[in-house]
């Protein structure tokens, strides 16, 4: 069965009350992805956010419910930094995912404690993808020392675990493209990505549109060096492991978020027109 998948942005500006045009387009496209996941009958979303990063193994969130307020360390002093969240975790699938990661020869760590600091990317994505707060999530951390093959193995383990439990899973990676933040306060209307970063972002998106996963993976390190790709674009390696990205990706939106590059990409049954 085809696994629906998506790449969505991680920055809190997408929830701004008075957004830049690109922020509003990216937010609307992310909501559209949520609609598509529901239309595909997805029971649980397998989620990776590059803002939940670890260095020892791969953490899997096993708490049944995550409630609280995220105060973003970068944007707390401005309009974008205080984010409420309430996420239902598919803990049965989370434990099965951790077991599958261990069985694949990697190390999983099961995370469950009160007041867990849910990262900004997860909060932003979940609020846009699931505004009715009706969905379930299974989440794994982004290991900063994991190579692409390890990230792919983690995703494949999640898909296997979901199949073993009879879940209809969707896969979402929460990540940006280029990560060169504008280092000063700007008005939303002034938001731009550096031209060289923009060129690289578009080159990567062109390969994704063409369904050329090999080209995207081959240019990942150069993309990371030339455009400060978010977490060295580990998000794509994760999506690759789900088996979703060996077909053309539909780019629903692309634009800057405070100088960084961001895109919403969908792999699955097309229900809308590409941007």
Q: How large a percentage of the chain has pLDDT more than 70?
A: 94
| Minimum mean pLDDT range among 10-19, 167-176, 212-221 | 10-19
Instruction: Compute the Cα dihedral for 155, 160, 161, 166 and give only its sign.
Output: positive
Q: What is the pLDDT of residue 97?
A: 98
Type and span of the H or E element at 89? strand 82-89
State pLDDT tens for residues 103-125: 999 999 999 988 888 999 999 99
Give the distance between the most distant pair of CA atoms in the chain: 49
Q: What is the pLDDT of residue 270?
A: 43
Does residue 77 carry a pLDDT above 60? no
Q: What is the pLDDT of residue 147?
A: 93
Distance between CA atoms of residues 193 and 261, nearest Å: 6
Cα 259 from chain centroid (whole Å):
18
State pLDDT tens for residues 147-199: 999 999 999 999 999 999 999 999 999 999 999 999 998 899 999 999 999 99
Take residue 130 and report the two structure tokens written for it.
């699931």
Of 227, 231, 232, 233, nearest to 194 by C-alpha is 227
Q: What is the mean pLDDT of residues 237-245?
A: 96
Q: How large a percentage of the chain has pLDDT more than 90?
A: 83
Q: What is the pLDDT of residue 275?
A: 38
Query: Any bridge partners for residue 140, and if so which?
Result: 48, 60
């Amino acid at each position: 069965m085809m696994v629906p998948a998506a790449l969505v942005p991680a920055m809190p500006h997408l929830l701004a009350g008075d957004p830049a045009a690109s922020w509003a387009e990216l937010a609307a496209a992310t909501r559209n992805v949520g609609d598509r996941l529901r239309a595909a009958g997805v029971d649980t979303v397998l989620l990776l956010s590059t803002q939940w990063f670890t260095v020892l193994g791969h953490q899997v969130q096993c708490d049944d419910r995550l409630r609280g307020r995220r105060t973003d360390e970068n944007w707390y002093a401005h309009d974008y930094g205080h984010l409420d969240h309430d996420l239902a975790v598919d803990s049965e699938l989370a434990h099965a995912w951790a077991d599958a990661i261990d069985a694949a020869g990697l190390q999983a760590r099961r995370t469950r404690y009160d007041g867990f600091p849910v990262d900004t990317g997860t909060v932003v994505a979940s609020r846009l993808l699931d505004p009715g707060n009706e969905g379930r999530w299974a989440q794994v951390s982004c290991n900063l020392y994991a190579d692409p093959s390890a990230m792919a193995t983690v995703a494949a383990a999640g898909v296997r675990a979901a199949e073993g439990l009879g879940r209809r899973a969707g896969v979402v990676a929460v990540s940006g493209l280029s990560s060169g933040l504008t280092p000063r306060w700007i008005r939303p209307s002034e938001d731009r990505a550096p031209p060289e970063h923009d060129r690289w972002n578009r080159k990567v998106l062109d390969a994704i549109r063409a369904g050329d996963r090999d080209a995207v993976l081959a240019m990942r390190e150069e993309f990371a060096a030339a455009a400060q790709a978010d977490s060295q674009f580990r998000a794509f390696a994760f999506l690759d492991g789900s088996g979703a990205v060996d077909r053309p990706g539909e780019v629903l939106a692309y634009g800057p978020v405070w100088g960084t590059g961001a895109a919403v990409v969908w792999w699955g049954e097309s229900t809308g027109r590409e941007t």
